[in-house]
Structure 1
Amino acid sequence: MKEVSLPRKGIVGLLLLACLIGSAVTAGCTENPAVPETPAPTPEATPAAHTTYSPAGPQPSFSTTVTAPEKHFRTDTSCYWVVTGTVTNTGDAPGRNVVIRFMLVDDESGMVRSTETILTPRFQAGETKIFTIDPLPGDCDRQYRAEIAVTHDIP
């Protein structure tokens, strides 16, 4: 018994013919049918990308005042500054883990020269606290202003 085989040219030809038929059948399938365009949403209809969580109910809120820094000299002729700040919880709930940060800021560059941080575990609604920060190191030949930043845990 003799085995019959197709020549290589015949197999390659059949494969090419199958590919040609397949591409003819799928032609036009990659095009998008004519679909009317959907209008872009107006800015009023677009939802906000970022939503800030704010719990309902009473919240602490803080107001601050701070004195101008007072320059003092040490016996070695170096300088330090003293500031007094008032912090009041003007909200209707106590603040928990309240962080009060006093900053000595260079008037010319706007950079913070030195800081002092005070942690108050509980700051009652309506309560006012006065702090005197001594010393805040600084350069004798610079002018500074004082700032206060207050943060707290969400109740």
Structure 2
Amino acid sequence: DPLYGIQTILRAGAENLTEKQRARLTAAIEADPAHDEVFVAWQCAQQLRSAYHQKDLAAGRRIAERVVETFHTCPIPEIARLGRTLRRWRSAFVAYFTTGRANNGGTEAVNGIIELHRRLARGYRNRHNYRLRMLLAAGGLTP
């Protein structure tokens, strides 16, 4: 299958592809008309990526708004489903561009660390010791 050979290319950003990679991508897509859906999906992914890579937040917001308005009409079911999800989460999705690129990534990372250590600390009976363990695990204390 020609698509198997270009998996890495399909995961890369279009701006990072070399001419050789672009030629391999074109050859794989043209090998079978059924691969057109893969190419459309890749273009949609590139469009979504471009919203986050814009230097100007207003330009990123315009791209994000266009994505929200168009993806749900795509004939590819997976892209249409993504478009419907983005429409439901429009305010949260577009908020990234109105809050100065703020997100809750740090909070989620700390929460993941705490959840891991919570599972490992099943035997703690002393609430104070458990709290200290969580602070130590999440970087709130230094040993």
Range class of TM-score, shorter chain: under 0.3
> TM-score, normalised on structure 2?
0.19
> TM-score, normalised on structure 1?
0.18
**Greater share of helix residues, 1 or 2?**
2
**Greater share of strand residues, 1 or 2?**
1
Q: Which has the larger radius of gyration?
A: 1
Greater relative contact order (Cα < 8 A, sep 6+): 1
